[in-house]
Structure 1
Amino acid sequence: MILYLHGFRSSPQSFKARLMAEALAAQGLTGERDWQCPQLPVSPREALELSMTLARRQLETASSPRELTVIGSSLGGYYATWLAEQLGCKAVLLNPAVEAARDLATQVGSHRMYHSDAPMEFRPEYVDELRAAYVPAVTQPDRYFLIAATGDEVLDWREMRDRFARCRQRIIPGSDHGLSDFAQWLPEVLDFAQSAPN
């Protein structure tokens, strides 16, 4: 069972989310227990509340929290880390934001969403909400899988590598922040997500 969390200004229409949904549908995994990919609120606090509600709903019939894998891209990776620490589930982090409060403090103001061009407002208090969800170190590295691209033009892959140093890692030479070559890495992601819990 997978909960996918998109990044800043993104949506369930992102390339990686759609690719993953198609791969799971090909396995017959289309139910809400199998796959969730919500449109996250702009407020980090509200985004985490929604994600926690969905994750708990998916886990209602699970025998172990590790049956759930939260997959997060960019800011979604920051959220996924927090959720995995709260719930004891697994997490796959795709070019995750490591210092989200620091990085998004520069983004306070008006923006447009990537896939709809709808307006969005990133408020100053959202930076504090990000700071409140900061995870300085993960407690069980075996529950995490980091995919980081050295060609990420938005975030520093070395920060990702160092923050998740004891976790499984796939450092991709080149590529980009959006992981435009994600189809190549998707089987490895699904293998980690769908492996039997320890």
Structure 2
Amino acid sequence: MATTHLLYLHGFRSSPLSAKARQMASYVAQHHPAVTFWCPQLPPSPQAAMALVAEGIATWPRAAMAVVGSSLGGFYASRVAQHTGCPSVMLNPAVDPARDLARYIGEQTTWQNPEERFYFLPEYIAELQALDMRGRPPAGPELAIIAKGDEVLDWREMAGRYPEARQIVQEGGDHALGNFADYLPQVVEFLDLA
């Protein structure tokens, strides 16, 4: 069944205004106007973020939905896919955010709007640990796009986290996946957008 509903989850300190989120939204609107596309602004609390997503997709058809996530959003996408059985695409996905984000506890700003401040609280680490899906077999088809040049996350750890996924491992590149537009046709084909 073709995908009629697509969820996009942005990364830590990011927003729906990120380059990849905007490229995905624009591509879907242009080439697949019948698809419902949703990229919510995720709150800093992982538990609250997942509650917001669960509420937003509650009425979506499970057999015709898919999720794309970047960085921390990739970690969240694995959680969503595990619970819905839908296909998922992870872009330079965070593998162990509970470990990696511990040093960001405190006040943070967003990439797209440095004026915007939020607090990353110590209890969010336990919330991330509770959402970890490592060690479980995928509930739906997975595609992981990984840049070896990622300056934030270790590409070997990302590749190792998704052994059953179809993987596109890019030489060089960066965490932002600056050439994401090049991969959009493959992402859309993998997700079989309506």
Q: 1:14 aligns with which of 18, 31, 40?
A: 18
Letter in 2 for 1:57: T
> Structure 2 CA distance, aligned partners of 1:66 and 1:195?
12
Tell me how far 1:190 sits from its aligned partner: 0.9
CA shift digits 1:126-166 (9 cap, x unpaired): 00100000112342375111000000000011111011012
> Structure 2 CA distance, aligned partners of 1:170 and 1:100?
22
Equivalent residue number for residue 50 of structure 1: 52
Classify the secondary structure of the residue corresponding to 1:56.
coil
Give the 5 Å matches for 1:72-151: 72-117=69-114, 118-140=116-138, 143-151=141-149
> Structure 1 CA distance, aligned partners of 2:63 and 2:147?
26
Identity %: 44
More moved, 121-130 vs 18-27? 18-27
Equivalent residue number for residue 161 of structure 1: 159
- Assess if the C-alpha contact under 8 Å between 1:66 and 1:90 holds in 2: no
After superposition, the Cα gap between the structure-2 partners of 1:183 and 1:146, relative to the gap in structure 1 and judged at 3 Å, is same
After superposition, the Cα gap between the structure-2 partners of 1:171 and 1:138, relative to the gap in structure 1 and judged at 3 Å, is farther
Gaps of 5+ in 2: none
Letter in 1 for 2:38: Q
Letter in 1 for 2:99: R
Tell me how far 1:28 sits from its aligned partner: 4.8
Equivalent residue number for residue 36 of structure 1: 38
> Structure 2 CA distance, aligned partners of 1:173 and 1:141?
29
- Assess if the C-alpha contact under 8 Å between 1:9 and 1:112 holds in 2: yes
What is the Cα-based RMSD across aligned positions, in Å? 1.6
Tell me how far 1:55 sits from its aligned partner: 2.1
Equivalent residue number for residue 3 of structure 1: 7
Letter in 2 for 1:26: Q
Give the 5 Å matches for 1:58-77: 58-59=60-61, 65-77=62-74
> Structure 2 CA distance, aligned partners of 1:52 and 1:120?
22
Q: How does the TM-score come out when normalised to structure 2?
A: 0.92
> Which runs of structure 1 show a deviation greater than 4 angstroms over 4 or more consecutive aligned residues?
none
Tell me how far 1:27 sits from its aligned partner: 2.4
Letter in 2 for 1:152: D
Letter in 1 for 2:14: S
> Structure 2 CA distance, aligned partners of 1:93 and 1:167?
10
| Structure with greater contact order relative to length (CA < 8 Å, sep ≥ 6) | 2
CA shift digits 1:111-139 (9 cap, x unpaired): 11111220111000000100000112342
> Structure 2 CA distance, aligned partners of 1:40 and 1:141?
23
Letter in 1 for 2:170: I
